[in-house]
Chains A and B, each alone.
Chain A
Amino acid sequence: MRSAKQRRVDREGWSMVAPTVLVVVVVVVIPVLWNVLIAFQDLGYLEIRETSVFRNLTLDNFREVFGAEGFWRTLLTTVIYSVSATVGSIVLGLVAALALRRTFPGRGVVRAAMLLPYVAPVVAVAFVWQMMLNPQYGIANSLGTRFLGWDAPIDFLGRSPHALITVIAFEIWRYFPFAFMFIVARLQAVPKDIEEAAIVDGATPLQSFRRVLLPQLLSVMGLLAVLRVIMTFNKFDDVYLLTGGAAGTEVAAVRVYDYLTGRFDAGGAAAQSLVLSAVMVGFLFLYMWFLKRQGANQ
């Protein structure tokens, strides 16, 4: 028997989360389940208005998706893109956090500036990058041809393999502040006395970083890695705005969008997004398992 007090707490708690749960179920859970159904239907974008929820179910979408040569290429591009961007942004975030660790006049302003790429509107910064890298009048090519001895302007966003490298660089630039923020927060919690002891024992800065700081930072870096891989794997805005998916930069999310709006194939889009979700769930389970193992080891 639960006590009257517990029953009251249950009632209060549920009445307070009810609006959120309701909205989430209606706008996320039900549509996602429906997405599974759409994946098994032959549904064009234009038939959407007339469609019933249960049309004839078929496996055709999956046959087409896995059969299309572009799908596997896109998957490979997406893996390269998300892993490189994740590793790059965490490494740069760590470097930034360490460089700004000791206080100096104006550190607060520099720290605030670090977060600009992360908070600024993606459409605006993607457009600025396009302008900076423009082959005709962009600053990068102008400086490169004048001072770095480039023979001709480089079309950073229009040619393979530059384009993929450039969108990865953009992603690192945009998300290193996120890693920076978390690593700074974790650094502040590192007990001072271990480090001081290491210095007293004559450890050099690099030694004390490797022996003292890095072990303390590993868990937050693991968390960041999982979060960023999940987010980048399904990223749409950045690549779509920079290249539209051309020149060897077609990532999974852009392909799904093209299926939906370019080919008017909602079924094919849903089938591909289902494959993406499956990959994501796999990552999550891996992460949970990793957490469990860590917990068991401690």
Chain B
Amino acid sequence: MNRLTVETRTLGVLRWVTIAFLLLITVFPFYYMVMLSFVSIEDLQQNPGRLFIPLKDLTVETYRLVLADPEKVEGGQNFTLFLRNSTIVAGVATAITMVVSILGAYAVARLSFRGRREVSLLFLGVYLFPAIVLAIPLVVLFSKIGLAGSLIGLVIVYIVQTVPISIHMLRNYFETIPLSVEDAAEVDGAKRLTTLRKITMPLAMPSIMSTALFVFMIAWNEFLFALLFLAAQPERWTVSLGLSQLANGIEVPKTVLMAGSVILTVPIVVLYAIAERWLTEGLTGGAEKG
């Protein structure tokens, strides 16, 4: 047994142990979330250590309650309304961010205009800028102009927070499209925007879609600004904000809120499953250059 064999064998075993451990820590919390969303709180308190729930104890009452309108159902938590708010805010922010950042990314990737480096640096600065520092003046500013309690204010903040990362992802992709394809179009006298619309965008569609999904995810998951702007107005809560506000209290059964967590998480996991490959490529683009 020399050192080479010992190491190779040990690492061979360790590798599988590591993979099992990683799968456990990444998947188990989500399994636990789903499991607890189908039991009553009394059940959980009586049997705290269960990892599997017998079929007879499963209930969908938690989901019925969390989605119900409190006006109509005793103990309803109004998540249907929160879902609507979240969808509107994340959807509108994504649409505007995409229009703005496709233009921006194309310009930064393709046009060597004066000040291009400074513009890129500005975007990087915004990306790295702490949200909490931005929060103070924005709360002051939005309170002054009456946007603080509105979904519009939230949409504006989300656009600013997502444009830099969106430009970064799209730019990486635009740079991989051969110039010759576009040059051929230029020669025909096509205008820049037409080239972008008819040639570059169709070629980049997969990456545009995955970037859009990522932007939607950020907006859907965002919590700090929703808390600062909308905490006082339950009818405008997003799903994230609604869940956190109710989780702090004691009056709502925790397993009902687990159903809320599942409702908050499922759309994101579905979108991620669709765009997973493109997403990792878009985010890490340029990293392999070291």
> Which A residues contact B (CB, under 8 angstroms)?
6, 9-14, 16-17, 19-21, 23-24, 27-28, 31-32, 34-35, 38, 43, 48-49, 51, 95-96, 99-100, 102, 110, 112-117, 119-125, 127-132, 136-139, 141-143, 146, 173, 177, 181-182, 184-186, 188-189, 202, 204-206, 216, 219-220, 223, 227, 230-231, 233-234, 236-237, 241, 252-253, 256-257, 260-261, 266, 269-270, 273-274, 276-277, 280, 284
Contacts and interface: CB of A to CB of B under 8 A. Distances in A.
Contacts of A51: 140, 144
Given A20-B101, A124-B265, A185-B284, A256 B136 contact: yes
The 3 A-B pairs at the shortest CB distance, nearest first, are namely A13-B113, A234-B130, A142-B49
Nearest to A206: B7
Nearest to A20: B104
A139 to B, nearest CB: 6
Contacts of B289: 189
Contacts of B167: 20
A127 B136 contact: no
Contact of B163 (A20, A112, A256, A266): A20
Contacts of A204: 3-4, 7-8
B244 A24 contact: no
Given A23-B160, A116-B27, A142-B48, A237 B247 contact: no
Interface residues on B, range: 35 or more
A217 B280 CA distance: 18
Interface stretch (B69-77, B177-185, B200-208, B218-226): B218-226
23 contacts: A6-B114, A16-B107, A23-B100, A100-B19, A115-B272, A116-B27, A117-B29, A119-B268, A120-B30, A121-B239, A122-B223, A128-B30, A132-B29, A186-B290, A204-B3, A230-B128, A231-B128, A233-B130, A252-B132, A256-B132, A273-B132, A273-B133, A280-B130
B18 A99 contact: yes
Contacts of A205: 7-8, 11
Interface in B233-253: 239-241, 243-244, 247
A113 B104 contact: no
Contacts of B133: 32, 35, 234, 256, 273-274, 276-277
Contacts of B65: none
Nearest to B114: A10
A114 to B, nearest CB: 6
Instruction: Kindly name the residue among A12, A16, A51, A227 whose own CB sees the greatest number of chain B CB atoms within 10 A.
Output: A16
Nearest to B164: A24
B155 to A, nearest CB: 11
A236 B258 contact: no
B190 interface: no
Contacts of A48: 139-140, 143-144
Contacts of A24: 122-123, 126, 160, 163
A204 to B, nearest CB: 5
B268 A113 contact: no
A21 B223 contact: no
A123 B264 contact: yes
B132 A257 contact: yes
A69 to B, nearest CB: 21
A38 B27 CA distance: 45
